Amino acid sequence: MSDVLELSVERPVAGGRMLARHEGRVVFVAGAIPGERIRARVDRSVKKTLFATTVEVLEASPDRRQPLCDPACGGLAFAYIQYERQRELKAEILTDAFRRLAHLTLPAPVSVAASPERGYRLRARLHVRDGRAGFFREGTHSLCDAGATAQLLPASLDAVAEGVASLGERAGDCEAIAISENVAATERALHFEARPGRTLRVNASGPTTVSDSAASLFGAEPPIDPGVIWTRKASSFFQGNRFLTGSLVRRVLALSDGDRCVDLYSGVGLFAVALAAVGKKVLAVEGETSSAEDLAANAAPWRDRLRVLHGAVETAISEVPEPPPDVVVVDPPRTGLSPAALRGIARWAPPRLVYVSCDPPTLARDAAQLSTHGFVLESLDGFDLFPNTTHVEAVACFVHARSS
């Protein structure tokens, strides 16, 4: 399909496209900004919906700018939009998701916390091909230059390049390299992933730890007592923004009223350790092995009030703890809460539920389900952990009707 349509762009939608209409049909168009008049090439049609890409801007928004590089490299689908407008659009995406999918009106306008656009990534996974590392161009297996995206610090890219070089002739056995570092970028670790059916032998050398070794997380501006650190393997999941991770933790702490907390999908213990460090009694649950091992290590200094459970959330939530928690914190994967996890939370009916989400539609879907079980949305905050991309992190706080 190669039709070119002239469209007036209305508003953003989840996933980064903008909504327009043509002869009664909805058009989801990439590369546009609300308020613009454009020409767009239709790429595909699904039932009554068209998907299109901007090919000419007839009336440009004052918020349009020249992107740093190919927006398809590093997921920079919003890079052509001035940064302040990006944050406004992400707030609109959150609001729209709750209105359409949850049928909920937000208690207040959403604010999306800003991040510097350059050098913000604490962690990344780069593919290795033909002796070099980079991102895949969106929708392809074609390598593109991660440095051009400005997401990583130059020293981080140098460390990855040194890691690839250290493999020598064995570089062809490497599928990808994951890099993790601390806020100050004084500590970093690399994790080498072998290609299917291959093995890798890696020797540590130089200033970078070439292994699954742990790296401390917070240098400048820690979220709580500077004596508290988090460590993790490069292979473990962790939030990716060096400038906003502390702010995210502080917001979860501020919303977690009460003395007894449960942290589900705890990861390496970002929230669980922070909650324990401010004096709360915490049960932390994590199922993934690498993260669970880091969680156990991070919990060790707080073992008098932080208990770790390595296992599935669905199993852990099948029984109500005694005494019951005052607050439950959840940070599920992009797919959101599983039906069993949601039923368990509904059965527990904690006075407060703090939900950290990386996907507005699944958050709104779960909010709709939670509302049928007596949970009321109290607040919603956004955090722009990945500037120039379409992603937005959100922290939603729910209170249970019977506790209000």
Residues 138-189 have pLDDT tens digits of: 989 999 999 999 999 999 999 999 999 999 988 999 999 999 988 888 888 8
Report the alpha-carbon distance of residue 93 to residue 106 in Å, rounded.
Answer: 12
- List the beta strands (DSSP E) in 254-343: 260-264, 281-286, 306-310, 327-330
- Please give the single-letter amino acid code of residue 75: G
Of residues 230 and 397, more confidently modeled: 397
Report the alpha-carbon distance of residue 338 to residue 317 in Å, rounded.
Answer: 12
Count of beta carbons in the 10 Å neighbourhood of residue 319: 10
H/E segment holding residue 46:
strand 37-46
- Model confidence at 204, in pLDDT bands (50, 70, 90)? very low
Using DSSP, state whether 190 is helix, strand or coil: strand
Average pLDDT, the chain: 90
pLDDT of residue 208: 38
pTM of the model: 0.92
What does the pLDDT average to over 61-78?
A: 95
Q: Which pair of structure tokens corresponds to residue 112?
A: 């999306």
Chain-centroid distance, C-alpha 58: 34
CA atoms in the 13 A half-sphere facing the CB of 336: 16
Q: Is the peptide bond prior to 323 cis by the omega test (within 30 degrees of 0)?
A: yes
